[in-house]
């Protein structure tokens, strides 16, 4: 289960309402266990003909552009905001949305840029005819992990599910 309700993940895992989460956030909860499954780099998408891509997207054009971003979750920013904050990069965010999946339709019909996980960007480019560029500056990869509650640790069904997801993630990363 991939949950977009960052603040509720620890409570839902503790109650048994949620068996497993896939997320980039780390929760300060000793009862939660983590298994890293993927490191995701970020990409920039924009509409065909977007002026920021004319000369090849550079840091100046990226910072001068207007952006669409994710709403903050669990008292933190999106993984992008966390990574950009560590790189001392501040964007002009004009619109915040709850899901990455809403970003391509927005950037396809506006002058907003979207910064999204690379594996999603490849699909968005194909499905929406968007332009794609790597971030024009160095940033660390975003760690994606499986998260479960300690009380579920020895459940055979959960063990099996974690193995299956880890195998798929490894195949996708190759």
Distance CA 142, CA 59 (A): 20
Residue whose C-alpha is closest to residue 23's, from 158, 144, 162 = 144
Confidence check: pLDDT of 56 > 80: yes
Looking only at the bridges linking them, the beta strands covering 92-97 and 66-70 are parallel
Quick: pLDDT tens for 117-158. 898 999 999 999 999 999 998 888 888 999 999 999 889 999
Predicted structure pTM score: 0.80
What integer is the mean pLDDT of 85-102? Answer: 86
The pLDDT of residue 27 is 85
């Amino acid at each position: 289960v991939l949950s977009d309700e960052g603040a509720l993940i620890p409570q839902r895992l503790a109650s048994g309402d949620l068996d497993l989460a896939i997320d980039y956030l780390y929760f300060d909860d000793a009862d939660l266990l983590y298994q890293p499954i993927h490191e995701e780099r970020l990409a920039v998408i924009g509409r065909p003909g977007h002026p920021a891509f004319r000369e090849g997207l550079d840091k100046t054009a990226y910072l001068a552009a207007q952006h669409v971003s994710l709403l903050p979750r669990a008292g933190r920013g999106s993984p992008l905001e966390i990574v950009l904050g560590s790189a001392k990069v501040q964007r002009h965010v004009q619109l915040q949305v709850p899901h990455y999946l809403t970003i391509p339709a927005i950037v396809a019909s506006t002058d907003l840029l979207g910064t999204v996980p690379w594996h999603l960007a490849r699909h968005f480019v194909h499905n929406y005819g968007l332009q794609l560029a790597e971030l024009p500056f160095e940033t660390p990869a975003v760690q994606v992990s499986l998260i479960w509650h300690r009380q579920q640790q020895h459940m055979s069904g959960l063990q099996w599910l974690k193995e299956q997801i880890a195998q798929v993630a490894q195949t996708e990363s190759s």
